[in-house]
Amino acid sequence: MKNITIRQLQIFSAAATHLSFARAAEELHLTHAAISLQIKQLEEVSNSVLFDRIGKRVYLTDAGEVLLDHARQILRLLKDADESLMALKGLKGGRVSIAVTSTAEYFAPGLLAEFRKTHPDVRVRLLVDNREEVTRLLEANEVDMAIMGRPPADMDAEAVNFAPHPFVIVCCADHPLAGRSGLTISDIIDEPMIVREAGSGTRSAMEEFFRLRAIEPNIVMEMGSNEAIKQAVVAGLGISFLSQHTLGLELSIGHLAVLQVEGASVMRRWFMVRHKGKRLTPALAAFWDFVLEFAPDYLEKLAHPEPMKAEKASSAGNR
């Protein structure tokens, strides 16, 4: 085992995590052949079969499971050592790795842009994925922190809520119910609903909303992204239950409208999450404090955008 290289462990860890040489190649910017060669060499050095290859799929063997656990520990220790050396240099030249759930991608780049104005030397890595993958990245210490709507319940994590997270029911701007006041749940019960996929934070909030009212929504479509849902609603295919922080552009140019349904506003919270064992480097501490101070006002403005002028709205709508 003494001849195993760090690069081989990185490649093996990626392939084992995804159970796909193709996904590992994409993540590491290598060819499929290079991944296969490195895995073969690793198997020869370790004198163990690490993957079972059945058809076009691969599965970890018992030996692979054992090596994966140790590989992750080794890579985590190397990352911690690198961060400790960075900390000796102070904030200048530090780096932060952040994972956010898909709904947070509507404001995370803006936060990073503002952070970089005052900390231009800090290198920032941003990953966007579903809640399950963001949680895995945290647990595996592959990111320093995460921004999400629901902290992991079964992880030893420190979670701090930093801003309200409102959900609303939206429709296309020319929907018959748009602009009407005094609507009740009964007014929308038969409306076709376009919803996020099961397991997403948005879907969870919607299901809880209707469950508390003993109502079965009229779900006609399920989509895996907020953007797809918004376009479907704009096209008049139905109404939807979405985070208000995803609607800034469409509300400002008048393509979508929030239905004024009594009792339909659902308020959750945004959280910053990091593993309790994660040491705060100067760069991570700076970003953590920045989000706590800057994000609340930033998200409040995002949730209530000013209407665009006609010429700007036309240009934005044609993108």
CA-to-CA separations, 317 to 223, 246, 253, 308, 313, in angstroms, rounded: 22, 16, 7, 11, 6
Phi, psi of 149 (to 5 degrees): -85, -25
Q: Sketch the domain layout of the chain as residue ranges.
A: 6-75, 85-163+269-303, 166-268+306-317
Q: Which CATH architecture has domain 85-163+269-303?
A: 3-Layer(aba) Sandwich (3.40)
Whether the Cβ atoms of residue 285 and residue 115 lie closer than 8 Å to each other? no
Whether the Cβ atoms of residue 64 and residue 54 lie closer than 8 Å to each other? no
- The overall average pLDDT reported for the chain is 88
Q: What is the pTM of this model?
A: 0.68
CA-to-CA separations, 214 to 27, 116, 207, 209, 217, in angstroms, rounded: 44, 47, 10, 9, 10
Which alpha helices (H) appear in 246-319, and where do they start and end? 248-252, 282-303, 310-317
- What digits encode the pLDDT tens for the residues 199-252? 788 898 899 999 988 999 999 999 989 999 999 999 999 999 999 999 988 988
In this structure, how many other beta carbons lie within 10 angstroms of the beta carbon of residue 74? Answer: 15
In this structure, how many other beta carbons lie within 10 angstroms of the beta carbon of residue 309? Answer: 10
Q: Does residue 26 carry a pLDDT above 60?
A: yes
What is the pLDDT at residue 290?
94
* CA 199/CA 204 separation, integer angstroms: 7
Structure tokens at 301: 């403005």
Q: Does residue 22 carry a pLDDT above 80?
A: yes
Q: Does residue 316 carry a pLDDT above 60?
A: no
Indicate if 166-268+306-317 has the same CATH topology as 6-75: no
**Which amino acid does the sequence have at 144?**
D
- What digits encode the pLDDT tens for the residues 68-82? 999 988 888 887 777
Report the candidate in 115, 159, 111 with the shortest Cα–Cα distance to residue 134: 159
Range with the poorest average pLDDT among 25-39, 72-86, 177-191, 224-238: 72-86
- What digits encode the pLDDT tens for the residues 284-310? 889 999 999 999 999 988 888 776 654
Phi, psi of 58 (to 5 degrees): -120, 150
Instruction: Report CA Rg, the chain.
Output: 23
- For 267-283, b/e burial (b = at least 16 CB within 10 A) is ebebbbbbbeebebbbb
Whether the Cβ atoms of residue 81 and residue 279 lie closer than 8 Å to each other? no
What is the pLDDT at residue 281?
82
What is the pLDDT at residue 132?
86
Q: Specify the CATH superfamily of domain 166-268+306-317.
A: Periplasmic binding protein-like II (3.40.190.10)
**Is CATH 3.40.50.1820 correct for 6-75?**
no
What is the pLDDT at residue 311?
47
- What digits encode the pLDDT tens for the residues 258-272? 999 988 778 999 999
